[in-house]
Amino acid sequence: MNKEEFKITDKTALESKNLCKNCNKILNVTPIICILENDSVREICGRCSYQVAQLEGKKWRQYAYENFAQFLTYPCSNKKFGCDAILNWNQVLDHEIACTFQTTACPLSYTHIFPDKNCDWSGNVKKLNEHIEDAHKDCFVSPPQFDWLDSTINSIFFTHVGSQLVTVVIKHEIGNKFHCLVMVNGNDIESQCYRYQLELFNENRDNSIILRKSRLEPLGCILENFKNPTKMLEIDVDVIKEMLRITKGIHGKFGIVRKNKKEILQLTGIKDPEVLNGCTTPLAGKSKIILPDEPMLQELECPVCNEYMIPPIYICQAGHSICSECKLKVANCPNCRSQFSGARNFTLEKLTTRVHYPCKNREIGCSFVTTSDRIRGHESSCELSETPCILRCAHRCLRPSMYNHLTEKHANSLLAANTLHIRDVSDKKESFHVLYVFGELFRFSIKGSGFNPYKFNVQHQGMAEEEPVFKYELQFVDESPLGLNLSMTNSCQVLTDVPNKAHANAVNVPWEMLKPFIFDNKYFYFKIMINRI
């Protein structure tokens, strides 16, 4: 009798017994980890690898099993709900996070987390939003905010970001610590299309702390999300109270936003991000994640600083290239010691427009990738870039921490937008102030004294070398019975490194035009307003 080599004799047993001891799904996602516990071995699949570090016992990776299992095909874990996909080893996880046959329960059905809730709904993931909208209208909060009072009760509420429904859970852990989890009803790719921040402040709003998360999480994986601390923000109420000098409760406000089209295109490969609205799920196989061109980038390393070169790129007499910053620091080529002239390597510069560069902050969490003509613009506004104080003191910090620094060290330089301010014309100093509008920082500068023209300008800290996205209106107010009014508008400029360059594109107001608004021969009133273009 002829027998077929390498034939599986019992597929049912293979499917039912070869399961992860944590999620009870087939062991078909790497890494497969074995853990020895009390003389028995537990196998954990790659879906649950985040839990391995928390488990005690001897651990090892099952390389032999992985090497064998990669040659098999597998059913989707949603087979019992109707999915008939047959998947190769390397397709399993991508398919599962995009599978439209997922069955989920209402988040308010987990009574061990929300004992005061009791919803028994479960069904197809596409119907969950509709159920929440109809059955839990009392749980919607807009704008999304929360008060940390002396309570250990877990809380859940819903809100909308555009047409997308977002779920926010505040879960008590131990002592006075909480975890905050923000989710959308979608797969992992859709969840990455949003980011959020949580601003914590005291009752007077004069002190605040902002915590940020670069993505949301899938609502269908709520229980798995709670097992993984990296998916949540941790709130230590005692520490926050001490930092904010709070004696009463902490107030929190969520800012949840959809990423811009460029970021979503990079994540999904889909040019029209509206396709991802609701819980419409693209096939993961069609998603295109742009990665840095590592082999090409190795050839583009500057021999001096070892950073990747972008135009302008200079060339020595023997043909070796160097970046523009290092050319200012060295006179001779580090490779052949010949001198550098002003010649540029235009051939190499043209090539860089086709190479994908990573953000310089890649090692600390930024995943942005783009071509050479755009990478510096991103890095100038990257939230993970350390930046000098907008008022040019010696302090440097990450961009999200800048506002806290300003409130602590430069409170007198903060101006409120659309509010009446006063200027003493005898003040001959060039003055700089900061406005915080739309979650962005703007530096407002005034230069002028006596009978000379006055110069006014507004520069946007987060603006790249592109078209401006904000404009400002400067308004002079006459407090006399005549009620004169003078206003002028200009676009917000790129923030300059040297403050006295702030007036290169400033609004110039001649003294004769400003004179009718001077009272007591000494002061004038003005307002500054900032709006999106």
Q: Are 244 and 200 in contact (CB under 8 A)?
A: yes
Domain interval for residue 118 = 103-273
What per-residue confidence (pLDDT) applies to 269?
Answer: 60
| Closest to 458 in 3D by CA, of 476, 477, 435, 485 | 435
Burial class (CB in 10 A: 0-12, 13-18, 19+), 495: buried
The count of residues in the chain is 533
The answer to whether residues 201 and 124 belong to one domain is yes
356-358 vs 208-213, strand pairing mode: unpaired
Domain boundary among 96, 127, 149: 96
- Shared domain for 191 and 167, answered yes or no, is yes
Based on the fold, state whether residues 527 and 453 are members of the same structural domain: yes
Domain-embedded: residue 288: no
Does residue 110 lie within any of the structural domains? yes
CA distance 270 to 390: 36
On whether the CB atoms of residues 130 and 140 are closer than 8 A, the answer is: no
**Which two tokens mark 500?**
């006295």
Q: Look at residues 338, 363, 380 and tell me which one is the last residue of a structural domain.
A: 380
Examine the domain organization and report whether 141 and 246 are in the same domain: yes
Number of domains present in the structure of the chain: 4
Regarding whether 107 and 88 lie in a shared domain, the answer is no
Q: What is the mean pLDDT of residues 513-524?
A: 84
The more confidently predicted of residues 419 and 245 is 419
Provide the token pair at 442: 């703007």
Q: Which CATH number do you get for residue 159?
A: 2.60.210.10
Q: Same domain, yes or no, for 153 and 55?
A: no
Q: Within this chain, do residues 243 and 178 fall inside the same structural domain, yes or no?
A: yes
pLDDT category at 108 given cuts 50, 70, 90 is: very high
Q: Which two tokens stand for residue 399?
A: 């961009």
Domain contains 65: yes
Q: What per-residue confidence (pLDDT) applies to 74?
A: 92
Give the confidence band of 275 by pLDDT, cuts at 50, 70, 90. very low
Is there a single domain that holds both residue 448 and residue 515?
yes
Is position 487 within any domain?
yes
Q: Which of 72, 96, 120 is the last residue of a domain?
A: 96
Q: 42 to each of 38, 92, 112, 181, how far by Cα in Å?
A: 10, 21, 26, 29
- Domain membership of residue 264 (yes or no) is yes
Same-domain check for residues 400 and 520 = yes
Q: What percent of the chain has pLDDT over 90?
A: 11
Structural domain includes residue 15:
yes
The reply to whether 183 and 321 lie within a common domain is no
Q: Which residues face 199 on adjacent strands?
A: 210, 253
CATH value at residue 359: 3.30.40.10
Written as six digits, the tokens of 290 are 């742009």
Domain match, 250 and 332 both: no
| pLDDT tens track for 289-331 | 566 777 788 888 888 888 899 999 999 888 889 998 898 888 8
Which among 114, 81, 118, 111 has a CA at the least distance from the CA of 96?
81
Are residues 210 and 126 part of one domain? yes
